[in-house]
């Protein structure tokens, strides 16, 4: 069990925590003393919670579609019954439906928006009473470098840009309650979601790598480090900001 960590006595809710960035964030916060509640539509989120619990850290997992507002509300109640508060929210869950503008379907649009944008909205609304009660909170949205534009990502980039706008607005509204709201915008990171859309060795993936100034893919743990910083008291005077974790793509590359 971790002692004297940055997140001792804190409870963090992480969405999309079954794998990839969400899982890395869960382990990072847990190993620095925080209790963690993990949400994901994938049942293997329970495996992540068991791994964390095996290290002597308090963890729970719930299989939830965060695009379902009723399900989110029920999950938050269950989490509050277990941990009694929620100090940190990491809005990580998201899906991607790669397609050119002409090929995007209305179903693609609705589902990606429902999870990636409305899901963050639902989760934030439901945790706010707990944060306001404590007059304290840290909210970190996982946006993406794709928020600046990316080929075949009409819906995904719109949602990720939307998270940036939401965080800036929420930062202003919630500042009186000492609640900080920020974004981390990764890309390209070697996660299951990225590799599903960009298979290793494919021409598209090789083109992406050639345009990363640092010459490699990022690791989920590197994103988790940035999230943990923004979720900690070390970042208490930072709000409404977006931190890109992208190997320099935003300044020196063209992200296909």
Closest CA to 40 of 11, 75, 86: 75
Please pick, among 136, 156, 177, 255, the residue that the annotation labels catalytic.
156
The ranges of the chain with pLDDT < 50 are: 256
pLDDT at residue 3, as a whole number: 55
Question: 189, 195, 194, 196: which is closest to 212 by C-alpha?
Answer: 189
- Domains of the chain plus CATH, in order, are 11-246 (3.40.50.720)
Q: How far apart are CA 14 and CA 93, in angstroms?
A: 8
Cis before residue 109, ω within 30 degrees of 0?
no
Distance CA 112, CA 119 (A): 10
* Active site (annotated) includes residue 156: yes
Distance between CA atoms of 145 and 157, rounded to whole angstroms? 8
**Tell me, what's the pLDDT at 187?**
87
* Predicted local confidence at residue 32, as pLDDT: 97
């Amino acid at each position: 069990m971790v002692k004297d960590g940055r997140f001792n006595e804190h409870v963090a809710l992480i969405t999309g925590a079954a794998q990839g960035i969400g899982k890395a964030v869960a382990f990072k916060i847990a190993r620095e003393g925080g209790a963690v509640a993990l949400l994901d539509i994938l049942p293997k989120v329970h495996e992540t919670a068991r791994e964390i619990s095996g290290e002597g850290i308090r963890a729970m997992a719930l299989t939830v579609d965060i695009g379902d507002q009723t399900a989110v509300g029920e999950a938050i109640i269950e989490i509050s019954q277990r941990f009694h508060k929620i100090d940190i929210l990491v809005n990580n869950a998201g899906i991607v439906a790669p397609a050119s503008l002409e090929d995007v379907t209305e179903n693609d649009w609705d589902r990606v928006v429902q999870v990636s944008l409305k899901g963050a909205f639902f989760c934030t609304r439901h945790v706010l009473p707990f944060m306001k009660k404590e007059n304290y909170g840290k909210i970190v949205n996982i946006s993406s470098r794709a928020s600046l534009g990316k080929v075949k990502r009409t819906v995904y980039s719109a949602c990720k840009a939307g998270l940036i706008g939401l965080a800036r607005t929420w930062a202003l509204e919630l500042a009186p309650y000492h609640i900080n709201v920020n974004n981390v915008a990764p890309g390209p990171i070697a996660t299951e979601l990225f590799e599903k859309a960009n298979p290793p060795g494919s021409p598209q993936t090789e083109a992406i790598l050639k345009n990363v100034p640092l010459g490699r893919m990022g690791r989920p743990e590197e994103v988790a480090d940035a999230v943990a910083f923004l979720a900690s008291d070390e970042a208490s005077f930072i709000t409404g900001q977006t931190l890109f974790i992208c190997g320099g793509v935003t300044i020196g590359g063209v992200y296909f």
